[in-house]
Structure 1
Amino acid sequence: MQFRRFTPSLAGEFDRINREWITEMFELEPIDEAVISDPQTHIIDCGGYIWFACNDNDEVVGTCALHRKKNGVFELTKMGVSRQARGQKVGEALLMHVLAKAQVIAFDTLFLLTNARCETAIHLYEKAGFVHDDAIMQQYGGAYDRCDVAMRYRPQTSRTA
């Protein structure tokens, strides 16, 4: 598996993968539509990052973003794996890649918002070092109607899962 950083030519892949998984499980919310249809404006130009996972055939099969909320605060967001690549550990490899990159980015807080229906993803996040966090839910959870789980990255507790 190879990883690539965002380029404008990959914006369509970001939209495709995120639109696919979100509409399979939920309704697209206005914030989803804005971010996935224009990641340059809503993530990159705000100081964020997007990475893509590519398979051995150089096809984009996954994506994940770090959305800068304010200085030192990033949201891990829009992490998705294309339908045909699910079950192949793409999400795990992509998450580990993004967390490794996050270590060199100056951040005080790294968090994510999700839904309890995303059980497999939540387990992966817990294994990687994310912990459930009520303060994150109170501060950022209102961004999505579907959000009922908020987690903060705590790498010192991560490797015991």
Structure 2
Amino acid sequence: MPHVPAPAVISSITTPADADAFRTLNEEWISRLFTVQDADRLVLGDPFGRIVEPGGDVLVARDPHGAVIGCVALLAHPDTVFELAKMAVAPAAQGRGLGRRLVAAAVGRARELGAARLFLGTNSKLTPAIHLYEAAGFVRIPRDRLPVADYYARADTLMELECG
């Protein structure tokens, strides 16, 4: 019988090592496809202060050995709106459904935090991510639906999900 790897365990960020893994996973894909911006550095450099303390969360996925192989952030905005952001899956763990599990866990966690609506920004060249978000129920929206005025220029595809 072939060996089937144990599924990753997804939970909230708890340690400085988790924060480092969150930063490393995101910097890898952002720098490979785009440019890491100052706004990225602020959030990635202090996820506890910039995401968790203001009312959001960072979820990390761990392999059976405890290594962080994926992550996703939920940033709190006014009026019970949350942003799904900074999702990354380690290259060696891609193609196994972990991204889908992270999105589902993030939507569930956003509801626990009281979200009425989730939004995200992505880029049209990230076709697999767009399909993943659409499969989870996100729909495309115009820029004027965003709860923030100054949003990433690289985000040319904006989406939302009603959580209520």
Structure 1, unaligned runs of 5 or more: 157-161
Name stretches of at least 5 consecutive residues in structure 2 with no aligned partner: 1-7
- Greater fraction of residues in helix: 1
Q: 1:6 and 2:29 equivalent?
A: no
Which amino acid is 1:4 matched to? S
Q: After the TM superposition, which segments of 4 or more aligned residues of structure 1 sit over 4 Å from their partners?
A: 135-139
Q: Deviations over 1:35-79 (max 9, x none)?
A: 101111111121110110111222110000100011301000001
Q: Following TM superposition, by how much is the alpha carbon of 1:3 offset from its aligned partner in structure 2, in angstroms?
A: 1.1
Shift of 1:140: 3.5
In the alignment, is residue 54 of structure 1 matched against residue 62 of structure 2?
yes
RMSD of aligned alpha carbons: 1.8
Quote the residue 2:71 is aligned against: 63
Segment of structure 1 superposing worse, 85-94 or 133-142: 133-142
Contact (CA 8 Å) 1:136, 1:150: kept in 2 or not? no
Give aligned-pair identity as a percent.
33
Which amino acid letter does the alignment assign opposite residue 6 of structure 1?
Answer: I
Q: What secondary structure does 1:103 align onto? A: helix
SS state of the match for residue 103, structure 2?
helix
1:35-114 matches, cutoff 5 A: 35-114=43-122
Corresponding residue pairs, total? 156
TM-score (norm 1): 0.89
The Cα of 1:153 is off from its aligned counterpart by 0.6
What letter is aligned with 1:115? N
The residue type equivalent to 1:96 in the other structure is A
Task: State the partner residue of 1:130.
Answer: 138
1:17 to 25, 33, 38: 25
SS at match of 1:124: helix
- 11, 26, 31: which one aligns with 2:34: 26
Aligned to 2:4: none
Question: How high is the TM-score relative to the length of structure 2?
Answer: 0.87
